[in-house]
């Protein structure tokens, strides 16, 4: 998949949290969302482009064109509307580039102004609390999305605590995101469906209530399973995150950790769990 790295700053942590909620809303899976989005890093003020509280988002989509449409739409609806925000490119050397502020500037109705700083063009769009400053274009790069592992526990509480523990640990790593709600997926999916209109459907082999009706892939003692899905800037970033997550999830009551295998239908990359865990 293609990805962009978008840095957004705000006046304080309250408004930064607000923009995170808005920008990452409805972004779990490109099965139905325009993009998969998550916070890659919370930036220290000394690493923020304008010295204010900031976060770096990774935004993944199937193509450069789809990525451009997603960031422009969400930029207008979620970033420009949020008080005090500014938006910057986190991949300035990357090609190809997509329009960002270049499109959103028209909201300024002719009153917008451009400025070039350190070779990068910005647009200053007048809004009711002053100006929305946004970089004109964003760099894009090729990433690897859809790395996954499945945590199987003896009950829901045990599995949920382990999955959360793993997602939070992965969240400390650079170069990856876990785009689902707080990084955890309850409705893991397989490719295809008996209903032709659907691209994906419930992963019945991992549903505990379907034991006896389908060929289960659950451990005999497992009564609950959760999936962690990882999008990375490259294969190595994804591999590292999977290994960290698996080791972190392991513990009492976790009877198995496995993964979805889609027979190559999701892409050319295969991550073998036992290989990842070797020293």
Q: Do residues 269 and 148 share a domain?
A: yes
pLDDT of residue 269: 85
- Which portions of the chain are predicted below pLDDT 70? none
Residue (of 63, 55, 66) closest to 23 by Cα position: 55
Q: Do residues 160 and 85 share a domain?
A: no
Q: Write down which residue in 141, 163, 183 finishes a domain.
A: 141
Beta-bridged to residue 123, according to DSSP, are 114, 134
Q: Do residues 125 and 175 share a domain?
A: no
C-alpha to C-alpha distance for 187 and 226, rounded to whole angstroms:
8
Give the domain extent around 36: 2-141
C-alpha to C-alpha distance for 136 and 16, rounded to whole angstroms:
21
Q: List strand residue ranges (DSSP E) for 76-129, in order.
A: 86-89, 97-99, 113-117, 120-127
Record the tokens describing residue 33, joined without a space. Answer: 């969302």
pLDDT of residue 66: 98
Whether residue 80 contacts residue 8, with contact meaning beta carbons closer than 8 Å, is answered with no
Q: What is the CATH number of the domain that holds 76?
A: 3.30.70.520
Beta-bridged to residue 136, according to DSSP, are none
Q: Write down which residue in 141, 171, 204 finishes a domain.
A: 141
Distances (CA, A) of 195 to 29, 192, 198, 200, 263: 19, 8, 6, 9, 20
Q: Do residues 116 and 166 share a domain?
A: no
C-alpha to C-alpha distance for 268 and 136, rounded to whole angstroms:
33
What pTM was estimated for this model as a whole?
0.95
Q: Write down which residue in 108, 141, 174 finishes a domain.
A: 141
Q: Do residues 98 and 151 share a domain?
A: no
Residues 6+ apart with CB under 8 A from 177: 36, 37, 38, 39, 40, 58, 60, 230, 231
pLDDT of residue 264: 72
Residues 6+ apart with CB under 8 A from 151: 159, 162, 163, 166, 225, 226, 227, 228, 249, 254, 257
Total tally of structural domains belonging to the chain: 2
Q: Do residues 63 and 115 share a domain?
A: yes
pLDDT of residue 263: 74
Helix (H) / strand (E) containing 177: strand 176-177
Beta-bridged to residue 256, according to DSSP, are 152
Whether residue 260 contacts residue 148, with contact meaning beta carbons closer than 8 Å, is answered with yes
pLDDT of residue 79: 98
C-alpha to C-alpha distance for 263 and 274, rounded to whole angstroms:
18
């Amino acid at each position: 998949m293609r990805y962009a790295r978008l840095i957004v700053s705000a006046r304080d942590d309250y408004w930064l949290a607000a923009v995170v909620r808005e920008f990452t809303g409805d972004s779990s899976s490109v099965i139905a969302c325009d993009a998969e989005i998550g916070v890659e890093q919370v930036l220290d003020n000394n690493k923020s482009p304008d010295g204010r509280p900031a976060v770096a988002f990774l935004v993944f989509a199937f193509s450069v064109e789809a990525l451009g449409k997603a960031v422009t739409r969400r930029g207008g609806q979620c970033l420009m509307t949020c008080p005090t925000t500014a938006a910057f490119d986190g991949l300035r050397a990357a090609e190809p580039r997509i329009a960002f502020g270049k499109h959103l500037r028209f909201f300024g109705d002719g009153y917008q102004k451009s400025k070039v700083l350190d070779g990068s063009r910005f647009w200053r769009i007048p809004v009711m609390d002053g100006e929305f400053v946004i970089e004109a274009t964003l760099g894009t790069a090729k990433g690897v999305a859809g790395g996954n592992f499945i945590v199987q526990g003896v009950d829901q509480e045990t599995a949920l605590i382990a999955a959360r523990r793993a997602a939070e640990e992965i969240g400390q790593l650079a170069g990856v995101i876990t785009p689902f709600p707080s990084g955890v997926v309850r409705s893991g999916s397989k490719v295809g469906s008996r209903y032709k209109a659907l691209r994906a459907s419930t992963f019945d082999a991992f549903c505990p209530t379907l034991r006896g009706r389908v060929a289960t892939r659950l451990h005999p003692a497992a009564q609950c399973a959760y999936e962690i899905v990882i999008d990375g800037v490259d294969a190595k970033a994804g591999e590292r995150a999977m290994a960290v997550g698996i080791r972190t999830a392991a513990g009492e009551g976790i009877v198995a950790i496995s993964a979805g295998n889609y027979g190559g239908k999701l892409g050319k990359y295969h991550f073998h769990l036992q290989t990842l865990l070797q020293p």
